Structure 1
Amino acid sequence: MDCVKIGKLIAKLRKEKKLTQKNIADALGIQSKTVSKWECGLGCPDLSLWPELSAILGVDMVQMMQGEITPNHPDSGNIDKIRFYVCPSCGNILVSTGSASIFCCGRKLEHILPMDTLTVPKITVEEMDTDYFVTIDHPMTKEHYLSFAAWVKNDRVFLNRLYPEQSPTCRFPITAGGKLYFYCIKHGLSIYSNDLS
């Protein structure tokens, strides 16, 4: 470990959060002079302190241990590059419109690749007022269900969270074009690219 590099990063992140060395020390249950030593490059945090320190500073622990935060490329706003992520621990659903480092429950998540379109279930669409009412012919048991459906059009993502033992239906605003994505906990991500109208 490069203690000088890590120390400079800790100081930078602490200042970004508008925290004092004492704030960090109190949160970790250590002395302020210990934080000062880190920032001067005269030592590195004890291994047991890294998880809590990374949480306090709001950064990835691995990158902090390397002494540098790798920035993501700026989001070009291309909705065609949308990526979905599902945390295997808590089931959180996260979305990006380009490459990103996404973490949840302490794990780096990889974006979900769409599965073979031959296995896409039957979809029924009705127009109701100003919305599409979409029904997906899919089981919704605790062991096999859809966890979300998303309608992606232009610069918008309309995400509906779905739950086991509920109806696999959702509503989306009526718009021409776009793609419907849905995620089965057993079989993965599917794309229905036909226009819903």
Structure 2
Amino acid sequence: MDCVKIGKLIAKLRKEKNLTQRNIADALGIQNKTVSKWECGLGCPDLSLWPELSAILGVDMKQMMEGEITSNKPDSGNIDKVRFYVCPSCGNILVSTASASIFCCGRKLERILPTDAITAPKITVEEMDMDYFVTFDHPMTKEHYLSFVAYVKSDRIFLNRLYPEQNPSCRFPITTGGKLYVYCIKHGLVTCQKINEELSKSNDEELGS
């Protein structure tokens, strides 16, 4: 470990959090002068202190131990590049609009990549008041269910969380031209056809009946 680099980073992060060396020391149950030594590059934190220290400073422990925080590229503002993450431990759903380091339950999450659209469930779309009412043909058992549905359009993401043994349906404000994402715990993430195309298809079927 490069104690000088790590010490400078600890000092920088501490000041960003508006914390004093004593605040850090009290939280870790160590002497104030120990934190001062770290920041002067005269030693590194004991391995047992790293998890709590990284939590206090709000950074990834691995990067802090390297003495350098890697910045992501600036968000381009193109929400079509949205990325979804699902924690395998707790099922938490997280979203980013650009490259990001996402952590949950102590582990780094990998972006979920869309799979073959052939596995997408059959969709029925209706207009209801000012919303799209979307229904999915899915068993929704505890072993096989849709975890979330997201509708991405322009500068907005409408995210609906679904649960096993729940009716597989959701509502989104009517905004044509968006992209619908569906995540099944068994088949993964799929990108469905544009919701307005499905709506047009449904309307045509109704007119033809």
Q: Structure 1: which 5+ residue stretches go unaligned? A: none
* Alpha-carbon distance in 2 for matches of 1:2, 1:188: 41
Per the alignment, residue 179 of structure 1 pairs with: 179
Per the alignment, residue 116 of structure 2 pairs with: 116
Q: TM-score, normalised by structure 1?
A: 0.97
Per the alignment, residue 63 of structure 1 pairs with: 63
Q: TM-score, normalised by structure 2?
A: 0.92
* Alpha-carbon distance in 2 for matches of 1:195, 1:122: 12
Richer in helix (by share): 2
Per the alignment, residue 77 of structure 2 pairs with: 77
* Alpha-carbon distance in 1 for matches of 2:23, 2:136: 51
Q: Give the CA deviation at 1:194.
A: 2.8
* Alpha-carbon distance in 2 for matches of 1:139, 1:49: 47
Q: Is the 8 A contact 2:120 2:182 kept in 1?
A: no
**DSSP 3-state at the match of 2:49:** helix
Per the alignment, residue 86 of structure 1 pairs with: 86
Q: Give the CA deviation at 1:24.
A: 0.4
- 1:36-51 matches, cutoff 5 A: 36-51=36-51
Q: Is the 8 A contact 1:140 1:164 kept in 2?
A: yes
**DSSP 3-state at the match of 2:125:** strand
Q: Is the 8 A contact 2:119 2:187 kept in 1?
A: no
2:25 equivalent to 1:25: yes
Structure number with larger C-alpha Rg: 2
Q: Is the 8 A contact 2:84 2:96 kept in 1?
A: yes
Q: Give the CA deviation at 1:126.
A: 1.0
* Alpha-carbon distance in 1 for matches of 2:3, 2:41: 5
- 1:95-174 matches, cutoff 5 A: 95-174=95-174
* Alpha-carbon distance in 1 for matches of 2:101, 2:166: 32
Deviations 1:3-46 (A, max 9, x none): 00000000000011011111101100111111111001010000
Q: Give the CA deviation at 1:55.
A: 0.2
Per mean C-alpha deviation after superposition, the further-off stretch among 90-99 and 169-178 is: 90-99
* Alpha-carbon distance in 1 for matches of 2:47, 2:59: 16
Deviations 1:40-99 (A, max 9, x none): 101000001000000000000000000010111111111121111111111111111121
Structure 1 outlier segments of 4+, above 3 Å = none
What RMSD over aligned residues (CA atoms) do the two structures have, in Å? 0.9
Q: Give the CA deviation at 1:195.
A: 3.0
| Counterpart AA for 1:183 | Y
* Alpha-carbon distance in 2 for matches of 1:50, 1:194: 47
Q: Is the 8 A contact 1:178 1:193 kept in 2?
A: no
* Alpha-carbon distance in 2 for matches of 1:193, 1:109: 27
* Alpha-carbon distance in 2 for matches of 1:65, 1:139: 46
Q: Is the 8 A contact 2:160 2:170 kept in 1?
A: yes
- Identity in percent: 84
**DSSP 3-state at the match of 1:163:** coil
Equivalenced residues, count: 197
